[in-house]
Amino acid sequence: MQAKLACPEYTPTKNNKHKSIRNHERFKDLFVMLDTKVTNCLYWFEVENNNSCDLLVKHLNEIRPILKEQFRVVPVINKNNNSNVLYVGIRRGGFTEKWGLSNISGRMIQHLGYYEKGSTQGLQLAHWSLNSDIKIKINIIQFEEKFPNYYLEAFEKIIAHKLRPLCGKH
């Protein structure tokens, strides 16, 4: 699923924590789908081609000092290259009744950059990729309910080894 990220008015603030990107027209369908995923998930962000991904990561690396000043924590730099995958991650299953969202929805809010607390590591896309004309696709694999948590990290490492994401711990 692809979405344009220029929606800063939906970033929660200390004064209004109830703003939610989930209510924005551009993101509504994405979050309706994500909220159905309540078991463990593996996900990755990819772009159209290797060159576009390289340009995106180069821009991220240039803006890291500014993001640090804004207390926005982004994935670490790694040594991978020649890939169209930006980031690979996992999220344990679950649903937060208080906020009415699945765990994967919450994680995507962080990666998209619309979570109030920038100290939670994520791509923070809304804070640095808005001016790029690169389309980002989010891929999500939902595991069956009985998929053991202790296999989740191993599976993430195997997929990351294959996809070679250009940022993050892999």
* Nearest-10 Cα torsion for 93, 94, 96, 99: 40
* pLDDT mean over 111-121: 88
Nearest to 155 by CA among 168, 142, 145: 142
By DSSP bridging, strand 85-91 and strand 136-142 are unpaired
Confidence of residue 85 (pLDDT cuts 50, 70, 90): very high
- Per the prediction, the chain carries an average pLDDT of 87
> Which pTM was predicted?
0.88
pLDDT reported for residue 114: 85
**Taking the domains of the chain in order of start, what are their residue ranges?**
8-163
C-alpha 52/C-alpha 146 separation (Å) is 37
pLDDT reported for residue 15: 54
* pLDDT mean over 127-148: 89
- Counting residues of the chain whose pLDDT is more than 70, the rounded percentage is 89
